[in-house]
C-alpha cells in the first residue's frame, strides 16, 4: 500500500525535504545518444555547491518504466571507471527514511532511486535494467519529497542551553521523539543566554547531554545563535558563523550531516523570531540553508522558495503551539496535522520544551502518538 508521509529531517534539508541546491543535469551515455532508452544516466552537481552543502542527504530521482515490467534492478556508481553497485530495494510495506534505496512501483510504472553524492565525486551514474541487463527506464526528474512521499512533518524545539531546568526538559523531549522515531530539530544557544528578559544570563549547553541524545537517534541540531540576541546584533559573524562552528567543534554529528571529514549545520532558528537584511545575508555567507524566523497560527505548510540573492531558502513560518498550548485542544492539533498532510504540504510545529509537559498521556504525547500511528496503521503514512 502506498506510503503517504515522510517523517523526517527538518533542515529543508530537513527540514529534511532537501531539494538540490546546485543544478543537477541529466546526461545520456555517449554510446546511447541515438537510442530511445539511454543505457545509463549521469547526474552532476556544481562542485562549489557540493562542497558548501555536502549533498549528503539522499535525493530521490524518478524514472518511468514500461507497463508490465517486473524483476528490475537499479545500479549506481560515482565514476566511469568504477564497477556498478546494486541499490538496495525497499517497498512501501516497510518504514524507511533518509537512506539510499530504490523502490519499484510497478503499478504506476515508476521507479524512485534515492541516493546521495559521494564526497569524492560530483557525479552519480545510475542505470535501471531488466533481468537480461537491458536498459528500460527514462528519466522524469527529482521528487519534491524523499521517496516521492506525499507530505512532510517537522517538529522543532528552541533554546537549549545549560540552565538545569531547560536542559532537563530538552532531554525529556528528545527521549519522547526518539522513542517514537519522529525527528526533532533542537535549536542550541551555543554560549548561553545573555541578558535575556526572562531567563537573564544562563550558561552554555552541556554538550555531552546533547551528544547523548544525538547518538540515540532522530535528533538534528540547528543553531539558535551564540547568546540569543535581538537584532541588530553586535557581532553577526560571531552569532551566526561562530555558533555553527561551536556545534561542529563540540559535537559528533550523525552521518547525514557529514561528507568525508567535513560536518555540516544547515539549520538556523532566529532568536525572538527576529530577522533583518544583514542577518539573511550572513546566513547565506555561512552556508545555512534554512531560516526559521516567524510563527503563524495558520501556518499553511508550503515549501519556501530559494532566495538567490542571499543563497538560502526564504524564511520558514511555523505553528508555535506552546504559546497557546492551554487553549489548543488535542482534536485541533490532530485536525491541523490532517489538514496539512492531506494537502501534500509540510506540518511544521515549533515549541519551547520548558513550556510543555512530556509525561505519558500529556497533550504533546498524545498528539505525537497520533502522528506516529499514521506511519503504522495500514502503512499509510511516513513523513519527511
pLDDT digits (tens, 9 = 90+) for 75-84: 999 999 999 9
CB 228 within 8 A of CB 240: no
Sign of CA dihedral 23, 28, 33, 34: negative
Q: Which of 93-97, 121-125, 165-169 has the lowest mean pLDDT?
A: 93-97
**Which pLDDT score, from 0 to 100, does residue 299 have?**
60
* Top-confidence residue, 373 or 244: 244
Domains and CATH numbers, the chain: 20-143 (2.60.40), 151-379 (3.20.20.370)
What's the DSSP call for residue 236?
H
Tell me how far apart the alpha carbons of residues 154 and 350 are, in angstroms, rounded to a whole number: 8
Q: With bands split at pLDDT 50, 70 and 90, how would you rate the model's confidence at 318?
A: confident
What's this model's pTM, rounded to 2 decimal places?
Answer: 0.89
Helix 363-373 and helix 164-179: axis angle, to 10°? 30
Is the pLDDT at 123 greater than 50? The verdict is yes
Distance CA 43, CA 61 (A): 10
Q: What is the pLDDT of residues 201-227, one digit of tens each?
A: 999 999 999 999 999 999 999 999 999
- Give the per-residue pLDDT at 37: 82
pLDDT band at 284 (very low <50, low <70, confident <90, very high): very high
Bond before 292 cis per omega within 30 degrees: no
Mean pLDDT, to the nearest integer, of 155-182?
96
Pairing of strands 290-295, 316-320: parallel
Euclidean distance between CA atoms 78 and 42, whole angstroms:
9
Average of per-residue pLDDT across 124-136: 96
CA 181, 98, 317, 167 dihedral sign is: positive
Quickly state the pLDDT bin for 63 (edges 50, 70, 90): very high
How does residue 302 score in pLDDT terms, banded at 50, 70 and 90? confident
Amino acid at each position: 500500500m502506498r506510503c503517504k508521509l515522510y517523517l523526517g529531517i527538518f533542515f529543508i534539508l530537513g527540514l529534511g525535504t532537501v531539494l538540490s541546491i546546485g543544478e543537477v543535469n541529466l546526461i545520456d551515455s555517449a554510446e546511447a545518444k541515438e537510442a530511445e532508452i539511454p543505457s545509463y544516466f549521469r547526474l552532476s552537481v556544481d562542485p562549489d555547491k557540493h562542497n558548501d552543502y555536502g549533498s549528503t542527504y539522499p535525493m530521490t530521482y524518478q524514472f518511468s518504466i514500461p507497463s508490465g515490467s517486473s524483476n528490475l534492478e537499479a545500479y549506481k556508481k560515482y565514476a566511469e571507471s568504477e564497477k556498478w553497485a546494486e541499490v538496495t530495494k525497499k517497498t512501501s510495506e516497510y518504514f524507511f527514511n533518509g537512506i539510499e534505496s530504490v523502490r519499484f512501483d510497478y503499478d504506476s510504472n515508476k521507479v524512485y532511486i534515492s541516493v546521495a553524492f559521494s564526497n569524492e565525486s560530483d557525479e552519480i551514474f545510475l542505470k535501471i535494467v531488466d533481468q537480461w541487463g537491458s536498459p528500460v527506464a527514462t528519466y522524469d526528474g527529482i521528487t519534491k519529497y524523499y521517496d516521492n512521499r506525499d507530505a512532510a512533518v517537522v517538529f522543532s524545539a528552541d533554546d537549549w542551553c545549560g540552565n538545569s531546568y531547560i536542559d532537563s526538559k530538552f532531554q525529556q523531549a528528545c527521549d519522547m521523539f526518539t522513542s517514537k522515531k519522529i525527528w526533532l530539530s533542537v535549536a542550541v544557544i551555543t554560549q548561553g543566554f545573555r541578558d535575556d528578559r526572562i531567563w537573564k544570563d544562563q550558561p552554555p549547553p552541556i554538550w555531552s547531554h546533547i551528544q547523548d541524545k544525538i547518538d540515540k537517534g532522530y535528533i538534528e541540531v540547528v543553531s539558535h545563535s551564540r547568546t540569543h540576541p535581538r537584532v541588530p546584533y553586535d557581532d553577526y559573524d560571531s552569532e551566526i558563523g561562530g555558533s555553527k562552528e561551536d556545534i561542529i567543534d563540540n559535537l559528533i554529528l550523525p552521518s547525514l550531516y557529514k561528507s568525508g571529514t567535513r560536518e555540516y549545520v544547515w539549520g538556523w532558528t532566529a532568536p525572538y523570531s527576529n530577522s533583518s537584511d544583514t542577518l539573511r545575508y550572513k546566513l547565506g555567507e555561512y552556508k545555512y540553508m534554512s531560516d526559521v524566523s516567524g510563527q503563524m497560527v495558520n501556518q499553511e505548510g508550503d515549501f519556501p522558495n530559494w532566495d538567490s540573492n542571499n543563497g538560502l531558502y526564504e524564511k520558514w513560518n511555523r505553528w508555535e503551539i506552546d504559546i497557546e498550548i492551554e487553549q489548543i485542544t488535542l482534536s485541533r492539533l490532530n485536525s491541523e496535522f490532517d489538514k496539512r498532510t492531506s494537502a501534500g504540504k509540510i506540518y511544521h510545529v515549533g515549541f519551547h520544551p520548558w513550556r510543555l509537559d512530556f509525561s505519558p498521556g500529556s497533550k504533546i504525547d498524545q498528539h505525537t502518538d497520533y502522528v506516529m500511528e499514521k506511519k503504522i496503521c495500514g502503512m499509510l503514512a511516513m513523513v519527511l
